[in-house]
Amino acid sequence: MDHSAHFSQEKLIFHGKQSPEKGTIVGYAAIVDTLNLPMPMVSPIALVCDQNKNYQTNEWLILPKSYLPEDNEELEEVEALYKHLVFALKYEGVNLLLFSCLIKYYSEDRLTKLVSFEPTGQYSRRIWFIIEWLLGKELEGKENLSKKSYVSVVDVNQQYSVEGVKSSRHLVLNNFPGTPDFCPMIKKTEKLENYINDHLSNRKNEYFKGVHKEIIQRASAFLLLKDSKASFSIEGESAKSKRAARWGQVIGQAGTKELSEEELGRLQQVVIENSRFIEMGIRKKGGFVGEHDRVTGDPLPEHISAKWEDVPQLIHGLIEANKILINSEIDAVLAATIIAFGFVFIHPFEDGNGRIHRYLIHHILAKKQFSQQGIIFPVSASILDHIDDYRKVLEAYSHPLLDHIEWEETKDHNVIVKNQTVDYYRYFDFTVQAEFLYDCVFDTIENIIPTELLYITNYDEFKREIDDTYEMPDRLIALLVKFLGQNNGVLSRRAKEKEFSELTEKEVKAIEKLYGDIFE
């Protein structure tokens, strides 16, 4: 017999957060807290207000008191749980990490009981499908349904999904954007919807209308190198020209090869120039991102990588999810978010993860035809320009998990993870990461690409004028533009005395004016 349980909680302070209204904590947050599930607290936290208020912030979902789920001492625990799960599916979307915790917390008998309330109802069917999908098997005692219309497991008004496959047993349309081995979710937000409805890819193509093909090719070549250098700079490494050019060539091939474990291995080999001190391929030991204490050498993790034993399964799941996303109509930037950020959080390699992560953004944008073929989309350059925001979106995932990962230091000052953590790397919410990536895509389209096209057009005009008047060699013109750009359109005394000593003061003034008229 189940014991009675209250999931609803009336607290003004909840997990260190001050409630903005007097009311009752319900839904996923109440379940996580009551059952002490081993997962970060959900966000936003659902609170049914004592007053008739309805609004949302980053941390809170405030709903009127009429939304309060039934939860009293007369209800058995699993029935009270069912009421809160129905509430959560209605107003919070699907949280796969929470469901994965529930199937470990309860016995299969309890889970069967959980999905036996309102057995033909849409929420009961969705809960039933999610549980069996995660378990990988059918619950005993549950018979197939019939004579009901299909309902989507992911509410398309709340979260992004794919077209889906019908499950006749549950009469549910499985529109998850992944597999049980890897399935991040993204919430529908006003910001993301505005970006998607703005059709940014079409706007990008407008910049190329009327621009000579040769200028587009030169801009693309420069942006390719710029993006490659930016990817190295993000890692805090110097991008020597040869190395950056080599990686740029790889970025230029994005979208031409299918994603596989072998392809990921090939990319790592290109990234890592000298592998003498690195074990290449899928890790066979723990890993973390962070620093070491300068005195003791103790690891100071900012992010702990997936257990090496779990990496093959996670990478297999990621590759299968990638196939689903590539073959679906889901937005290209959202698909790139799921695969690229999923990869970097798994951190399957000892080194090279960050650059491959950013390559995967290029790969999926090209594969889903967001990027024009042959024109590099320099999103890494925008990420570098917003490096602090980039770190914050990485930490938004990593930091909450640190409290739930049990690790010990190894003799070589690495980490070894002691508890089961695989679900943390396959079920999570990527809304923050998707909004950041779309910001960078927007910045790339509105600023980086037009700026480069304009620069090349201006450069060519400046070069023609200098050629006509001074017959200066191309190499010297390039140096002239560089010096003028570095010194706010004025040629320095050193440059006038050395490289451009042949020019008179009157000619220098004329060149400076020409540069200002064209470039500024």
Amino acid 221: pLDDT: 67
Amino acid 1: pLDDT: 37
Instruction: Provide the edge-to-edge strand list for the sheet that holds 165-167.
Output: 151-152, 172-174, 165-167
- Sequence-separated (6 or more) residues with CB below 8 Å from residue 487: none
Residue 330 phi, psi (nearest 5): -60, 145
pLDDT at 400 over 50: yes
- Contact yes or no for 117/447 (Cβ under 8 A): no
- Contact yes or no for 436/393 (Cβ under 8 A): yes
Residue type, 496: K
425 confidence band (pLDDT: 50, 70, 90): very high
Residue type, 364: I
**Residue percentage of the chain with pLDDT more than 70:** 88
Q: Which two tokens stand for residue 334?
A: 């959202």
- Sequence-separated (6 or more) residues with CB below 8 Å from residue 497: none
Span 318-354, pLDDT tens digits: 999 999 999 999 999 999 999 999 999 999 999 888 8
Mean per-residue pLDDT over the chain, rounded: 88
- Contact yes or no for 23/11 (Cβ under 8 A): no
Q: Which of 64-73, 202-211, 278-287 has the lowest mean pLDDT?
A: 202-211
Amino acid 203: pLDDT: 67
What is 283-325 written as a DSSP string? -SS--EEEEE-TTT--EEEEEEPPPTTTHHHHHHHHHHHHHHH
The stretch 396-410 carries a mean pLDDT of 94
Our measurement of the distance from residue 226's CA atom to the centroid of its chain's CA atoms, rounded to an integer in Å, reads 22
pLDDT at 270 over 50: yes
pLDDT at 133 over 60: yes
- Contact yes or no for 123/130 (Cβ under 8 A): no
Round to whole Å and give the CA distance between 72 and 7. Answer: 9
Nearest to 314 by CA among 282, 287, 337, 289: 282
pLDDT at 50 over 70: yes
2 confidence band (pLDDT: 50, 70, 90): very low
Round to whole Å and give the CA distance between 290 and 332. Answer: 31
Q: Which of 22-36, 114-128, 145-159, 213-227 has the lowest mean pLDDT?
A: 213-227
The stretch 189-202 carries a mean pLDDT of 88
- Contact yes or no for 287/415 (Cβ under 8 A): yes
Span 356-391, pLDDT tens digits: 998 899 899 989 988 765 566 788 888 888 889 999
Nearest to 235 by CA among 355, 336, 340: 355
pLDDT at 511 over 90: yes
- Contact yes or no for 179/321 (Cβ under 8 A): yes
Amino acid 3: pLDDT: 43
Neighbouring CB atoms inside 10 A of 207's CB total 17
Residue appearing with tokens 């020409």: 514
